[in-house]
Amino acid sequence: MVHLCLDFEGVLIPEIWQCLAKEVNSDDLMLTTQDLKDYDELMSLRMKVVREKNIKLSDIQNIVKEIKPFEGAQDFLNWARSEFQVTIVSDTFYELAWPLVEKLGYPAIICHNMTVENDEITGYKLRQENNKQKVIEALQSLKYKVFASGDSYNDINMLNTADLGIFFQAPKHIKEEFPHLLTASNHGELKSILLEHK
Among candidate residues 9, 91, 95, 151, the one labeled active-site is 9
- Kindly write down the DSSP assignment for every residue of 47-97, as one continuous string: HHHHHHTT-BHHHHHHHHTT--PPTTHHHHHHHHHHHSEEEEEEEEEHHHH
Residues 131, 149: Cα–Cα separation, whole Å: 15
Handedness of CA 181, 186, 189, 195 (dihedral sign): positive
Q: How many CA atoms lie within 13 A of 130 on its CB side?
A: 11
> Where are the chain's structural domains?
2-13+70-197, 18-64
Active site residue 189: no
Among candidate residues 7, 15, 151, 155, the one labeled active-site is 7
Active site residue 7: yes
In CATH terms, is domain 2-13+70-197 a member of 3.40.50.1000?
A: yes
- Per-residue pLDDT tens, the chain, 198 aa: give them: 899 999 999 999 999 999 999 999 999 999 999 999 999 999 999 999 999 999 999 999 999 999 999 999 999 999 999 999 999 999 999 999 999 999 999 999 999 999 999 999 999 999 999 999 999 999 999 999 999 999 999 999 999 999 999 999 999 999 999 999 999 999 999 999 999 999
Q: What is the pTM of this model?
A: 0.95
